[in-house]
Structure 1
Amino acid sequence: MIPDVMRAIEISGAGAPEVLKPARRPVPVAGHGQILIRIAWAGVNRPDLLQRAGFYAPPPGASDLPGLECAGTVLSVGPGVTRWKPGDRVCALLPGGGYAEYATCAAEHALPIPEGLDLRAAAALPETAYTVWSNVVMRGGLQSGERFLVHGGTSGIGTIAIQVARALGATVWATAGSDAKCIACAELGARPINYREEDFVAVMRKAGGADLILDMVGGDYIERNITSLADDGRLVMIAFLSGPKARINFLPVMSRRLTLTGSTLRPQSDHAKALIAQELEARLWPLIASGAVCPLIDSTFALQDAVEAHRRMESSNHVGKILLQVSEES
């Protein structure tokens, strides 16, 4: 039986983590092509922090509740849904609404729980897997034998990006800001660069230049990334923790045939996200089943402790994903 009301965490106003408040909300109804999920675990992501701070509004029609990924059990399906049925266990990319007991999403944006994972581990995948695969593989075109650099190697994105690149046969470097985080990157298969002690540009130029760089820092890293690329190299931007603006000399871009690109996931069309989901199930899910790629979980918090989860992420001390436990696994 589907209840009428659910527990949720809402954003009471733009500001610090304390603006996250417990609330009661109506349980959403699955529309055409949608499924309703009883959430067991939800992921915490940087876009949640940006939304809470008032800098990342939900797209039209999406829930105003934060939360872009979850794992749980299908409770009901809307008209036109044929793949899923009540009782199926799924992990899913959400347009919003993950900080709640129930959420709806497009049926095509849900995926089966990868073989060997429980709901807790699976909840750490959707936002990260969609982002990494679409930018490193589909957009960045990473190939076996190439040199790959990822900034923020111990973030949720970074830990999966390292493993995916290694599984595809690339040599991987990762930047991190402490010896402990560098050790974590090394354990995942990357050659760590402590950016507080080393210049990643010098390291990559000595290695022959990066064929692909995945960057979420921006700011002055943009020009430094360009210098770090090998001829015909590609730079993919997915976030701007240090700002979106930089002065760039485009002569090296032209003379060395470099590609500068990037994307954000949330504003993309349902169709575009469905295509990414198909790629994930066909190519990444087997790597997860084989053990070549596994989500790394930093910490978990109860739903009502979302404030503490946001504080943990803002500290930048985490290694891997931060999760919210919403309900007991069924």
Structure 2
Amino acid sequence: MLDIIIEARQAELSAGFTVKRILPYRLKRMIGPFIFMDHGGPVNIPIAAADNLDVLPHPHIGLSTVSYLFSGNVTHRDSLGVEQVIKPGEVNWMTAGKGITHSERFEDPAMLAGGELEMIQTWVALPEKDEESDPSFENYKPEQLPIFTDTGVWMRLIAGEAYGLKSNVKTHSPLFYVHVVLEQGVHFGLPVGHSERGAYIVKGSVDVNGFTYRPGQLMVFTKGVDPLIIAKEPTTLMMLGGEHLGDRYIWWNFVSSRKERIEQAKEDWKQGRIILPPMDNEEFVPLPEDKGRPAGGPPPNALS
């Protein structure tokens, strides 16, 4: 019924600010095209420390970053000249393609000190034919995303197709990404028509086949098997998956089907050939030292 349970690991974004890192995992690098997943917050830190949490400009290739907020706000700036404040229920979908840089800054210290920032970020690998596409950015408002409600169930389809709904968010391969809220006692099924499926527990707890799963766990389901998810208490899930794209290399913030493309991106960033955001270009994240990590490189930038 379940192929694997992935336990979120703590990853430090900056001094005093850690996130839960779910993907990649050494025994399960991807679920469908999803190759990275972070859960940040709820954040509650002293206001004096807020400036240290910003994610400075850094590069990406070969993927789309997907930012989704439960609460708080984050300011995005990128090398296309986009400046966008993302708010709860919105989706920032940035496709890196052949290369983009961006920053994410937390410019409302009161929210950080008040425990009001909580977000999920995923990376979606691109099909080989789209890995060198032009970069792009789109912000989608909550009213643009399909909602489904039933007794004890609230669901927002962030991207793709699932449960008879279709999102207008532009994607490059078959996938689904859903924010689900369940009341206690609700029985909830998996979406059909996708070969790889997972459900991350944000809060609450669920029963699957007599076993209990809790916050910080990503349940990866066996292909073709459709167990019921039973909410043992009020529960929030992020469900995701789709069709496998084939193996990908991941090193820091770079994803590609070709190892040599990763090496090129490393050199391009080191030599300053990837431009910085025009509205945020006074500092940046330097290329990490390559220590030959067996997982494929240094840790990615959290919430990046």
Which protein has the bigger helix share? Answer: 1
**TM-score, normalised on structure 1?**
0.25
Higher relative contact order (CA 8 A, sep 6+): 2
Which protein has the bigger strand share? Answer: 2
